[in-house]
Amino acid sequence: MIGQHVPSADLDRCLNLIHRRAGCRLCANACPVDAISLEHPAPILDTETCVACGVCIAVCPTDVFGEGDHTERTLLRSVSQHAPDELGVVCVRRTNPRKAPLPTAIVVTHPRCLGSLDIGDLLELSDQGNRPIVLDDTLCEECPIGSAHTVIATAVDSVNALLGNPQAIRVASDATETAAVREVIDGAHPHFTRRALFGLVRDRAAELTDRDPGGSLPTSRVRLLAHLPTIDEMGTTRIPFADVRIDPDACTACRACVQFCPTDALTMSTKDATFAISFRPAACLDCGICAVACPESAVSFGDRIEGLLNARTLAAGPLTACESCNTPTAAKVGADGRTLCTWCRHGAGAVGPLHDEAGLVEDLLGRLDD
């Protein structure tokens, strides 16, 4: 075992259960011991094979996996009590942290794989890029779960892209200098003074209350946004956000993209026989479900985000009643001279109220020809 506890799984959060064509394989692809299968298509964790490395917890955008000890949060609390100017981080396999080949004089020990540190963890650990961080990856090459190095490298690259600084977080294998380690911080056992204990209670209360008001954002995304510096514009290639676009000429206001969006990054409002679909880039997980759910192929993706925290309107226009089911639609007049909503035009008929996303899959897509 690399870590101490096998993670639990809340399968209801899985993107593959929100839409049958979500196609998310992040956890299975990242697992270094092939302990996760996607046959159902929700992830099934083989607890006998699992080594508790924590990588699946870090890569899942909807927090399907978790464990009660909050290992990474404990590490962050340990570091916050010392507030070092620079920091090296070593994994559980580094039995003598003082011999770690790091260019930092202060090192914190992490009780499992460094691949368990997600983007939000690294942003917080680096104090939004104000504290240089070096991750000790020099043991990865000979590690039994060495394939997790890809996860580490990807997270580092994403954080540096978000911070606009390629040197904000580095890996030791790329460092050319070393320093004598003067202090080792125990990342698993924070030392609590009376003042620090009160701070822990305050921080825990904040974790429970400072969430997305609508409750639609995963906790990991809330933490990421809390430690993200202001971003005006950036490319989407290396970051966990997407630039969603909707062709207003193709959109029929059918609501499919909105209904399936797992975080309410896409919302639709109606007023006075008009509609508007809005997009919040900060809430987007880049899952791509909106595109596969759209029956009109109206959704696409750009390569740059302008104003990560700003909502913008993607499509808007007038609504008219479908001549078959009376549902408000933005569909154009067809070749037969009739105005039909998306579902009637595809032969699905009027779609009644549904209570959950899984039901929406069966009701909407199950009646459409693929």
pTM of the predicted protein model: 0.87
Contact of 184 with 107, CB cutoff 8 Å: yes
Matching CATH topology for 8-68 and 243-367?
yes
The pLDDT assigned to 195 comes to 53
* C-alpha–C-alpha distance, residues 190 and 196, integer Å: 9
Going along 201-311, which residue ranges are E strands? 233-235, 243-246, 266-271, 274-279, 299-302, 304-306
Q: Where are the beta strands (DSSP E) in the chain?
A: 8-9, 36-37, 44-45, 65-66, 87-90, 106-109, 133-135, 169-171, 183-186, 233-235, 243-246, 266-271, 274-279, 299-302, 304-306, 312-318, 320-321, 328-329
**Beta strand 44-45 pairing with 36-37:** antiparallel
Tell me the CB-side half-sphere exposure of residue 344, using CA atoms within 13 A: 18
Looking up tokens 């070593």, which residue turns up?
90
Q: What is the mean pLDDT of each run of 10 residues along the chain (370 residues)?
A: 93 95 97 94 95 97 89 93 92 96 96 97 96 98 97 98 95 92 92 53 46 71 92 89 97 97 98 97 97 97 91 97 96 91 80 45 48
Which is nearest to 124 in space by CA: 28, 206, 224?
224
The class of domain 243-367 in CATH terms is alpha beta
pLDDT value of position 84 = 87
CB atoms within 10 A of CB 122: 28
The CATH T-level fold of domain 8-68 is Alpha-Beta Plaits (3.30.70)
- Report domain extents, the chain: 8-68, 71-196, 243-367
The number of C-alpha atoms within 13 Å of 226 and in the hemisphere containing its C-beta is 18
For the four alpha carbons of 292, 294, 298 and 304, in that order, the dihedral sign comes to negative
